[in-house]
Homo-oligomer: A and B are copies of this chain.
Amino acid sequence: MGYRILETDDIPAYLRERGHWDDPDDITVREVSDGNVNRVFLASNASGTRSLALKQALPWVRVAGPSWPLSPDRADAEARAYERLAEVAPDAIPAVHGYDPEHYALVMEDLSDLEVLRTLLNEGAAYGPHTSPTIGRLVARLSFATSDFGMTSADRKALLAASVNPELCEITEDVVLSEPYIEHEHNHWHPGLDDLAAAFRADTALRTEVADLRHTFMTSAQALLHGDLHSGSVMVGVREGAPVVRVFDPEFSFVGPIGFDLGLYWANALVSEERARALGTLSDHADQLRLSWEAFEAEFRALWPSRVDTFFDDAYLDRFLHRVWTESLGFAGTEIIRRVIGFAHLTDLTTLADPVPASRRALRLGRELILHRTRLTDPAAVRAVVDALTP
């Protein structure tokens, strides 16, 4: 039997058949679909001692319906990414109990006791000391393990071939790395940004730098990425008194430039900072780029002596990390811009009473990061740019 779309009533039997649930009389299922493209169900028993999440990829964009087809193959990419992540950062992702490629369905840990990082930040919370370092370490571990430093040449080629993710890469290539800089029906923005949106479309220097980043995204097969590492792909909370950080939804995963993962996280951190500045709730926002980079760099350097290919020397490591840093800044800039004048905007800004001042600062910051990424050589230099934009 082939693929079928699972409904709430199908889940108990489905979980039981596949060995994930024992007692068919003690299960309650509810749909909690939240993202744009997939369905998510939570199953729990009456006493609350056992629960599971089931995520199924639909053959179309969930919020749009069958008129916008999207291959459910993305669930294969997600399952592969979770497999790699489980090897290197099991504590920073949800436990995955099984993947069913026939139904493009992942059965995994219920994270509903945690909160989406973006939601918490939007409510005024601080990052705290654990979140950004955990993200930086996770990116370092995943990228080192799946780079030519962490894998043999032949294994890398197999990973590269197995990890192509054409449809989801194309979404990024379009909505992040080109549309905001041209006339496109996907684009929209607050009328108070008309001048900047027009200026960006006319900015030939910016266009060329984005073209460079776009081509890097398309051709730089450095390591397996999460591919969509924004603050809506991170859950945080406390379990048994200890802080918990979980990265999820790696369905955009593919072998690409490491800076794309860091850049997306940084962009979202910088936008959350603009929201907090607008609301007067700034706390530790300004530290997050630095904290995640420092954790990334420290972890990558800690892993370096274990590289499988010792032809790569320490001087090359320095050069390589610098390249990752520079590209991360560029990708951060593109992510900021597309989130303000592109297709999908951020609640960080859209829910502000007056989103215009913070959005203008964000746009200018994004442009600076793209244009001057090679001159901004460390987190302090980025801080100086942010400070210079602040009224």
From A42-50, A98-106, A164-172, A332-340, give the one contacting chain B.
Answer: A164-172
Contacting pair B182 A153 (CB below 8 A): no
Say yes or no: is A326 at the interface (Cβ < 8 Å to chain B). Answer: no
Q: Say whether A208 faces chain B, with CB atoms less than 8 Å apart.
A: yes
Bound Cα distance from A166 to B158, whole angstroms: 8
A208 and B166 form a contact (CB under 8 A):
no
Q: Is the CB of B164 within 8 A of A211?
A: no
Tell yes or no: A215 within 8 A of B by CB: yes
Contacts A160-B164, A169-B157, A170-B154; A316 near B219 (Cβ below 8 A):
no
Contact call A156/B218, Cβ cutoff below 8 A: yes
Of the candidates B153, B222, B316, the one whose C-beta lies within 8 Å of that of A170 is B153
Q: Closest 4 A-B residue pairs measured CB to CB?
A: A211-B316, A157-B166, A154-B166, A208-B315
| Distance (whole angstroms) from the CB of A182 to the closest CB of chain B | 7
Which interface residue of A166, A212, A222 has the most chain B CB atoms within 10 A? A166
Contacts of A182 in B (CB 8 A): 311
Q: Which residue of B lies closest to A216 (CB)?
A: B220
Bound-state Cα–Cα, A162 to B158, Å: 10
User: Is A319's CB within 8 Å of the partner chain B?
Assistant: yes
Residues of B within 8 A of A181 (CB): 311
What string of 1s and 0s marks CB contacts (under 8 Å) between A210-247 and chain B?
Answer: 11101100111110000000000000000000000000
Task: Name the interface residues of A338-389: CB closer than 8 Å to any CB of B.
Answer: none
Q: Give chain B nearest CB distance to A202 CB in angstroms.
A: 13
Size of the chain A interface, CB-CB below 8 angstroms: 40
Which among B148, B167, B214, B221 is the interface contact of A311 at CB below 8 angstroms? B214
In the bound complex, residues from chain B placing their C-beta under 8 Å from that of A320 are: 215
Does A207 touch B at the CB level, under 8 Å?
yes
On chain B, the residues within 8 Å of A134 by CB distance are none
Say whether A173 faces chain B, with CB atoms less than 8 Å apart. Answer: yes
Q: Are B148 and A157 in contact (CB under 8 A)?
A: no
Which chain B residues lie closer than 8 Å to A113 at the CB level? none
Name the contact of A153 in the complex, choosing from B157, B218, B222 (C-beta under 8 A).
Answer: B218
In contact, A153 and B173 (Cβ under 8 angstroms): yes
Q: Which of A169, A208, A220 gathers the greatest number of chain B CB atoms within 10 Å?
A: A208
Given A160-B160, A161-B161, A166-B154, A148 and B207 contact (CB-CB distance below 8 Å): no
CB-nearest residue of chain B relative to A257?
A: B219
Q: Is A3 an interface residue (CB 8 A)?
A: no
A192-215 CB contacts (< 8 Å) to partner B? 204, 207-208, 210-212, 214-215
Which chain B residue shows the least CB distance to A167?
A: B154
Interface presence of A14 (CB below 8 A): no
Asked whether A313 is an interface residue with its Cβ less than 8 Å from the other chain, the reply is: yes
Is there a chain B Cβ closer than 8 Å to A178's Cβ? yes
Q: Could you say which of B156, B207, B219, B221 contacts A313, with CB atoms under 8 Å apart?
A: B207
Report yes or no: B166 in contact with A218, Cβ–Cβ below 8 A: no
- Asked if residues A148 and B204 are in contact (CB atoms below 8 Å), the reply is no
| Interface 0/1 of A271-287, CB less than 8 Å to B | 00000000000000000
Query: Complex formed: what's the CA distance from A164 to B156 in Å?
Result: 10
Segment 68-99 of A: residues with Cβ below 8 Å from B: none
Asked if A319 meets B157 with Cβ closer than 8 Å, knowing A221-B221, A222-B219, the reply is: no
- Chain B residues contacting A154 (CB-CB under 8 Å) are 166-167, 170
Interchain CB contact under 8 A, B215 and A316? yes
Knowing A154-B167, A157-B166, A166-B153 are in contact, say whether A312-B215 is a contact too (CB < 8 A).
Answer: yes
**Closest CB in chain B relative to A146 CB, distance in Å:** 11
Nearest B residue (CB) for A316: B211
Are A160 and B161 neighbours in the complex by a CB distance under 8 Å? yes
Residue of B nearest to A222 (CB): B219
Q: Which of B169, B212, B219, B315 contacts A221 (CB 8 A)?
A: B219
